[in-house]
Amino acid sequence: MTEKGAVAVTGASRGIGAAIALELARRGWRVGCLSRKGIGPEDRPVPADLAPLLEYHALDVTDEVAARAVFATLAEGPDGLRGLVNNAGAHAEGPSHEFATEDFAHVMAVNVTAPFALSREVFPHLQAAGGGTIINLGSFFDKLGVRYSAAYCASKAGIAGLTRALAVEWAKRGIRVLDVAPGYVETDLNAGHRENDGFNRFLEQRIPTGGPTDAEEVGRLVGVLFDEDLPFLTGETIYLDGGQSIQQ
């Protein structure tokens, strides 16, 4: 398999981030798996043939100085650094009339400010490589009003706006910026909710396709967006929610 250059994936140790990292490796990308633990996928097996394509780096996404160093390391490999997936995120719930400002600020820092800073730091490497792709992980919450989720909803609306602004600004540099916005995805983080039969029935009724998806489907969509030559596709928010957010 011919390598295609490197893609950095934040939050690559579990859930959607791990699925994205493995899918990109299957497609021949060299994947920089960035996580606070400095490890790769830990919640699913890593096939032996993909292991050589995964590089592990410890990174707190709010540390832009450390991110600069990691990106420089990835860019030194074959075919340079060609992409970034801003997947790492934070989610905190609570009644808005009691929600602490510092908790709101933390969600915004991880979900919006960090993707901006990391996109800025990866920019010179993508430009040096002749262009590239940045994919931000949003959410269908960006257009919903969800109780007790003001910070999360605001942050995902913010990442959609950031995506559009960067896409327009960097289009002539050959850099595409996209927002992949999943709906309800089965991960270990929500396994407890899915043990509730009433909750499962709600999802079956609320999602037109009949229930949630899995992290691997998100990974496949991200893989397609990196692999296909679609220079005219930029700035868009692509919803992967089974039609839930548009159902009346």
pLDDT of 1 reads 47
* Strand (E) or helix (H) holding 10: strand 6-10
Residue 42 has pLDDT above 60, yes or no: yes
pLDDT band, residue 3 (cuts 50/70/90):
low
Where do runs of H (alpha helix) occur along the chain?
A: 15-26, 64-75, 101-108, 114-128, 150-170, 197-206, 215-227
Residue 2 has pLDDT above 60, yes or no: no
Which residues have CB under 8 Å from 30's CB, separation 6+? 3, 4, 5, 6, 7, 53, 55, 74, 77, 78, 79
Is residue 31 one of the residues assigned to a domain? yes
Split into its structural domains, the chain has a count of 1
Q: Which of 49-58, 67-76, 180-189 has the lowest mean pLDDT?
A: 180-189
CATH number, position 138: 3.40.50.720
Instruction: Express as a percent the part of the chain with pLDDT over 70.
Output: 97
Is residue 99 one of the residues assigned to a domain? yes
Residue 162 has pLDDT above 70, yes or no: yes
pLDDT of 181 reads 98
Contact assessment for residue 171 and residue 234, using Cβ atoms and an 8 Å cutoff: yes
The yes-or-no answer on residue 152 being catalytic is yes
Residue 191 has pLDDT above 90, yes or no: no
Contact assessment for residue 45 and residue 21, using Cβ atoms and an 8 Å cutoff: no
Residue 40 has pLDDT above 80, yes or no: yes
Q: Which of 49-53, 186-190, 219-223 has the lowest mean pLDDT?
A: 186-190
Is residue 1 one of the residues assigned to a domain? no
Is residue 48 one of the residues assigned to a domain? yes
Average pLDDT taken over every residue of the chain:
95
pLDDT of 141 reads 96
Q: Which of 185, 184, 187, 183 is nearest to 42 (CA)?
A: 187
| Active-site pick, 148, 152, 184, 239 | 152
Return the higher-pLDDT residue of 58 and 204. Answer: 58
Model confidence, pTM: 0.95
Is residue 165 one of the residues assigned to a domain? yes
Is residue 95 one of the residues assigned to a domain? yes
Is residue 248 one of the residues assigned to a domain? no
Q: Which of 81-85, 153-157, 185-189 has the lowest mean pLDDT?
A: 185-189
- Look at phi and psi of residue 47 and say left if phi exceeds 0, alpha if psi is from -120 to 50, else beta: beta
Please compute the mean of the pLDDT values over residues 12-35 and round it to a whole number.
98
pLDDT of 189 reads 64
Please compute the mean of the pLDDT values over residues 123-138 and round it to a whole number.
98
Please compute the mean of the pLDDT values over residues 191-195 and round it to a whole number.
71
Cα atoms in the Cβ-side hemisphere of radius 13 Å centred on 146: 20
Identify how many contiguous H helices and E strands the chain contains and give both numbers.
7, 9
Please compute the mean of the pLDDT values over residues 9-36 and round it to a whole number.
98
Residue 137 has pLDDT above 70, yes or no: yes
Domain of 43 in residue numbering reads as 6-243
